[in-house]
Structure 1
Amino acid sequence: MQLETSIAPQLKALGFRKQGQTWWLSNIETIGVINIQKSSFGPGVYINLGVYVKQLGQEERPPEYRCHVRARLEQIASDRFWNEIVSAESIAPPSASLIEAILGDGVAWLEQLSTLDGIRHYIRSGGVEAVLSVKKLVGE
């Protein structure tokens, strides 16, 4: 997929490791996850983001769907990228705006939630409906 090829060098330079269509960045308290999911019903793609809290599990490379905090890129990215994100296709070259949304807003979101304090702040600001175990862990 052209999107993967376009973002791989930058994500690797940031310390992400890749397997299949998923990238992981291990931090002290969390693991940040970026996953590219091809639509089952056409050429569309979804950019899934997740944060896995290490205190809540033993996985070193969790799939995005087992992360404790999850979002799709269009939910957290700047509104100016929305059209590019939701119209992305696996068969077309990615737009510069889509790449910017992933490497800018997506990576920044993962960095914001890379610590328990960051997750705590995000929950308090109403940014996510976290699962009970995460709320307990961060004192909510």
Structure 2
Amino acid sequence: MVDSILLEALSEVFKPLGFRKKSANWYRVSGDLYCVVSVQQSSWGGSCYVNIGFAPAVKVRAGWLPESKCLVRFRVDALASISREGLDLLSGEVAEAREEGDLRVDLVERVVSPVAQAINSIESIQDLKSLLHASVSDQVFIHSEIRDKLLAKC
């Protein structure tokens, strides 16, 4: 249930920002970077995860690249702007105890909008480097191909 409501909330916020939808993913190329936000169902009940991926735009074929193929990947819980209460909304148990309309409003406010604010202006490796240093925890996968560029001091 929470994943379908989350996808509606993502549509509301991400479509006006130029993102396109493919299955449970929202993606776009902006500047030199490709970004994808992916909703993944948990194997453990009705919960879901929100994954974020970035790759140089030149790596993208036909405008699409799954999050699992991105050179930089992390879950939404790595973003400093996402509160514990926001993460709890992604839990199936919490979602089932809430009214659908209230859940959608809270998902927009506590998860979707903070994600959009964090990633909307990321258009270059330097922008991504700044985001990683300022707003993302160490729980990030960074492919060796791009690691040195991103981990060097700002």
Structure 2: gaps of 5 or more residues: none
The alpha-carbon deviation at position 68 of structure 1 amounts to: 1.5
Q: Which residue of 1 aligns with 2:42?
A: 39
Q: Deviations over 1:35-70 (max 9, x none)?
A: 111112311111111112224x23321111111211
The alpha-carbon deviation at position 95 of structure 1 amounts to: 4.3
1:78 equivalent to 2:82? Answer yes
8 Å contact 1:84–1:95 — kept in the other structure? no
User: Aligned pair count?
Assistant: 137
Q: Which residue of 2 aligns with 1:15?
A: 18
Distance 1:101 1:73, change over 3 A: farther
Q: Which residue of 2 aligns with 1:27?
A: 30
Q: TM-score, normalised by structure 1?
A: 0.78
Q: Which amino acid in 1 is paired with 2:146?
A: V
Q: Distance in 2 between matches of 1:138 and 1:21?
A: 28
8 Å contact 1:52–1:67 — kept in the other structure? yes
8 Å contact 2:9–2:104 — kept in the other structure? no
Q: Which amino acid in 2 is paired with 1:34?
A: V
The alpha-carbon deviation at position 139 of structure 1 amounts to: 7.9
Aligned match of 1:61 in 46, 64, 83? 64
Equivalence map 1:113-132=2 (5 Å): 113-125=122-134, 127-128=137-138, 129=140, 130-132=142-144
Q: TM-score, normalised by structure 2?
A: 0.72
Partner of 2:37: helix, strand, or coil?
strand
Name the stretch that deviates more: 119-128 or 44-53.
Answer: 119-128
8 Å contact 1:51–1:113 — kept in the other structure? no
Partner of 2:36: helix, strand, or coil?
strand
1:99 equivalent to 2:108? Answer yes
Partner of 1:62: helix, strand, or coil?
coil
Q: Which amino acid in 1 is paired with 2:60?
A: Q
